[in-house]
Amino acid sequence: MTDSPEAAMHRVVHFFEHLQPADVSRMAEIYTADAQFKDPFNQVQGLPAIAHVFAHMFEALQAPRFVITTQVVQGEQCFVTWDFLFAMPRMDGGQTQTIRGATHFVLREEAGVWRVAVHRDYWDAAEELYEKLPVVGALMRWLKKRANS
């Protein structure tokens, strides 16, 4: 059986759409040992650090889950758009929140298996998160209104 970037992205999408706390220990199935991860809050390298980011996600949020809405694979360069759903007791009374974003993956082949070497998330923390927080949200909305006037 020959692996391919397309097959790897199929595994990555399936992994993230079904991600549960116990799956954090299986990150080596989709990431290279020296993989880099960056999002608006984190910039880490290596499997233990990436696993920590996702373990913390499960500790800090209620029922976090990803829904992949689009995926494009062009060689080792891959791009997905997603909805991230979660709840926090202190945010909107625990109602489900949605953050919309995108991820750029760079895949690398090692020993015949394609895995993620670079994972870069793009999403607007101000609009998607901060504006929804009780105190900070009012300030962020005011700043946005001032910037647009």
C-alpha of 3 from chain center: 24
* pLDDT above 60 for 144: no
CATH number for the region 5-123 comes to: 3.10.450.50
Instruction: Quickly state the pLDDT bin for 94 (edges 50, 70, 90).
Output: confident
For the chain, the domains span 5-123
d(CA 94, CA 55): 20
Confidence at residue 70, expressed as pLDDT on a 0 to 100 scale: 97
What is the arithmetic mean of pLDDT over 87-107?
87
CB within 8 A of 48, min separation 6: which ones? Answer: none
Confidence at residue 1, expressed as pLDDT on a 0 to 100 scale: 59
127 touches 143 (CB < 8 A): no
Instruction: Quickly state the pLDDT bin for 106 (edges 50, 70, 90).
Output: very high
pLDDT in tens, 17-27: 999 999 999 99
pLDDT in tens, 121-134: 999 876 655 555 65
Select from 105, 102, 100 the least CA-distant residue to 73.
105
Instruction: Quickly state the pLDDT bin for 90 (edges 50, 70, 90).
Output: confident
How many CB atoms are located within 10 Å of the residue 70 CB? Answer: 9
Q: What secondary structure, in 3-state letters, does the chain show?
A: CCCCHHHHHHHHHHHHHCCCHHHHHHHHHCEEEEEEEECCCCEEECHHHHHHHHHHHHHHCEEEEEEEEEEEEECCEEEEEEEEEEECCCCHHHCCEEEEEEEEEEEEEECCEEEEEEEEEECCHHHHCHHHCHHHHHHHHHHHHHHHC
Whole-prediction pTM: 0.83
Instruction: Quickly state the pLDDT bin for 143 (edges 50, 70, 90).
Output: low
Instruction: Quickly state the pLDDT bin for 67 (edges 50, 70, 90).
Output: very high
Confidence at residue 55, expressed as pLDDT on a 0 to 100 scale: 97
Where do we find the tokens 């760079």? 106
Confidence at residue 61, expressed as pLDDT on a 0 to 100 scale: 93
Between strands 113-122 and 62-74, the pairing is: unpaired
